[in-house]
Amino acid sequence: MRLTSEMGVKKIICWPDSKIVAEQIRHILRNNNERADQLARLASSRKPGQLRSTIHLEIPSSSATAECLTINEDAPSWKTPIRKYIVNSELPADPMEARKLRTQAARYTMVADELYRRGFSTPLLKCIDNHQADYVLREIHEGICGSHSGGRTMAAKVLRAGYYWPTLKEDCIEFVKRCVQCQKHDNLIHASAAELHSISSPWPFALWSIDVLGPFLVAKGQVKFLLVAVDYFTKWIEAEPLACISAANVQKFVWKNISKGQAEVANKVILTELKKRLGSAKGAWAEELPEVLWAYRCTPQSTTKETPFRLAYGADAMIPVEVGEPSFRRQHFHEESNDNSLRVELDVLDEVRERTQLVAEACKQWMSRHFNSNLKSRTFHEGDLVWRATGSARRNSSEGKLSASWDGLFRVRHALHNGAYKLEELSGKVIPRTWNSTHLKTYYS
Ligand SMILES: [Zn+2]
């Protein structure tokens, strides 16, 4: 019955056997229903496992006739005016609307009581309404043959499968945006979320940035952490291997080195340098550290165009190569004139520092411009639901490469300044630390 109605059959002759079907149409007396009984017997006497075969029977005259009526008209949808125009030539009263509809309808046709659109990708696209579209989207995106593809690909797939509705592309994009699995496994966002906030230090050793590296392999003296401090102005670096990170240890380090932010960049330099120097002997990092630090202090830094050593001491340190292959200043060394020049250098040191500050400021501006050029501002408000990027440390190791890139769901508890946020779980449990907007994205539902 459903099949015939789908095929658009207007009149159907039935010889029902089943009571349910019969009651739906009209009850037929048993003696008027012999043929149907015969058909049913034929079907039930078929041996199991036998292939189905079509039974052809010629029926000279109908024993009973019943007409199948269309059940109920679909709720009005975008198809209704077009269908009305094609079937009954009904037009809206407004002449402009009528003209628009006539032009539109030229692209549509009726096949077996279904509206089809003449497409470019496929000859005929079946026109479907909301709840059908919802099923088609679901099936194509996450069904058996679904591949969680992106919005545009999905729209192309829907058209290829032969369906059409006016807001197809937009609906596909919206659907993908709201798919939880797609949100969870989406790529991390590399565009910056907020403007760069740089810190300037007015004078050498006024501002330090401290960071902890590690844990590394346990080296001589049971040390496995590295405490690094970098001065914002000169980029002077101090580092000390520690066995454990305790308040007392850090305080000792600070008093020893600093009483007479940047750290992350320097950390990278130190780590790369250590890796290259150590080869496979990773346990010897603590012994190699002084050399790495020394090398860093004698290298001109890109932000200041000066070596940290010169900015701190007013002169460039003599590096071993100048001794091995005597350089000009090594060959023409004169102790007395050297002392004088050093004093002169110290007097002009302030000038060098002033210039360095200008260079560093220009560099920072350039950095900000560069950073902000790739800016896609993402700001959140209190109460917003967000995903948090799953860093390598928080990834579920048992899931390996298949683990999700985004953690969810969190609610923004407080929006602090400079793109930092305090998060909480939906139950209200506060998440420790603050989170930068770089690691957050909106949750769509
Ligand atoms: Zn998906």
- Phi, psi for 6 (deg, rounded to 5): -70, -35
Residue 210 Cα to chain centre, angstroms: 31
CA of 388 to the centre of ligand 1 (A): 18
CB 67 within 8 A of CB 11: yes
Half-sphere exposure of 180 (CA within 13 A, CB side): 5
CA angle, residues 57, 62, 64, in degrees to nearest 5? 125
Half-sphere exposure of 319 (CA within 13 A, CB side): 12
CB 385 within 8 A of CB 441: no
Query: Which tokens in the block code for residue 342?
Result: 């050093």
As to burial, measured by CB atoms within 10 angstroms (0-12 exposed, 13-18 middle, 19+ buried), residue 88 is exposed
CA of 165 to the centre of ligand 1 (A): 21
**Cα torsion for 216, 218, 220, 221, to the nearest 10°?**
100
Q: How many residues does the chain have?
A: 445
Query: Which tokens in the block code for residue 365?
Result: 């501006």
CA of 133 to the centre of ligand 1 (A): 16
CA of 158 to the centre of ligand 1 (A): 15
Give the CATH fold of the 208-366 domain: Nucleotidyltransferase; domain 5 (3.30.420)
Whole-angstrom Cα distance, residue 14 to residue 65? 7
CA of 397 to the centre of ligand 1 (A): 23
Give the CATH fold of the 79-178 domain: Endonuclease III; domain 1 (1.10.340)
CA of 151 to the centre of ligand 1 (A): 10
Whole-angstrom Cα distance, residue 299 to residue 99? 77
CA of 438 to the centre of ligand 1 (A): 23
In the chain, what are the domain boundaries? Answer: 1-72, 79-178, 208-366, 385-442
CA of 420 to the centre of ligand 1 (A): 29
pLDDT in tens, the chain (445 residues): 677 777 777 777 777 676 665 565 554 455 566 666 666 666 566 555 555 555 566 666 655 555 554 445 557 788 888 888 888 888 888 888 888 888 888 888 888 888 898 888 778 888 888 888 899 999 988 888 888 888 888 898 888 888 888 888 899 999 999 998 888 888 888 877 777 777 777 777 777 878 887 777 888 888 888 888 888 788 888 888 888 878 888 888 777 666 544 556 667 777 777 777 777 667 778 888 888 888 888 888 877 788 888 888 777 777 778 778 888 877 777 778 888 888 888 888 888 888 888 888 888 888 888 888 878 888 888 888 999 988 777 777 777 778 888 887 899 998 887 788 999 998 989 888 888 888 888 998 8
**Maximum distance among all alpha carbons in the chain?**
134
CA of 182 to the centre of ligand 1 (A): 4
β 124-127/163-164 pair status: parallel
Half-sphere exposure of 188 (CA within 13 A, CB side): 13
CA of 429 to the centre of ligand 1 (A): 29
**What residues are neighbours of ligand 1 (ion), with CB under 5 Å?**
148, 179, 181-182
Whole-angstrom Cα distance, residue 362 to residue 356? 10
CA of 406 to the centre of ligand 1 (A): 14
CB 305 within 8 A of CB 359: yes
CA of 55 to the centre of ligand 1 (A): 46
Residue 292 Cα to chain centre, angstroms: 38
CA of 54 to the centre of ligand 1 (A): 43
CA of 149 to the centre of ligand 1 (A): 7
CA of 141 to the centre of ligand 1 (A): 6
CA of 422 to the centre of ligand 1 (A): 28
CA of 176 to the centre of ligand 1 (A): 6
SS3 content of the chain, % helix, strand, coil (to 5): 45, 15, 40
Whole-angstrom Cα distance, residue 116 to residue 126? 5
pLDDT at 27: 47
CA of 184 to the centre of ligand 1 (A): 9
What 151-160 contacts at long range (C-beta under 8 Å, 24+ apart), as own/partner pairs, is 151/175, 151/176, 151/177, 156/121, 159/119, 159/121, 159/122, 159/125, 160/121, 160/122
CA of 180 to the centre of ligand 1 (A): 7
CA of 71 to the centre of ligand 1 (A): 36
CA of 398 to the centre of ligand 1 (A): 23
Whole-angstrom Cα distance, residue 254 to residue 205? 12
**DSSP 8-class letter at 194:** S
pLDDT at 219: 81
Nearest to 435 by CA among 212, 199, 419: 419
CA of 424 to the centre of ligand 1 (A): 26
- Phi, psi for 229 (deg, rounded to 5): -125, 135
Sheet holding 440-442, edge to edge: 435-436, 420-425, 406-415, 385-389, 440-442
CA of 119 to the centre of ligand 1 (A): 27
Q: Is the dihedral of CA 324, 329, 331, 337 positive or negative?
A: negative
CB 419 within 8 A of CB 193: yes
CA of 148 to the centre of ligand 1 (A): 4
pLDDT at 411: 92
CA of 128 to the centre of ligand 1 (A): 22
Q: Does domain 385-442 have CATH number 2.30.30?
A: yes
Following DSSP, what letter does each residue of 261-324 receive, concatenated?
-THHHHHHHHHHHHHHHHTT-GGGHHHHHHHHHHHHHTS--TTTSS-HHHHHHSSPPPPHHHHH
CA of 233 to the centre of ligand 1 (A): 49
Query: Which tokens in the block code for residue 340?
Result: 């004088």
pLDDT at 260: 45
Whole-angstrom Cα distance, residue 83 to residue 108? 9
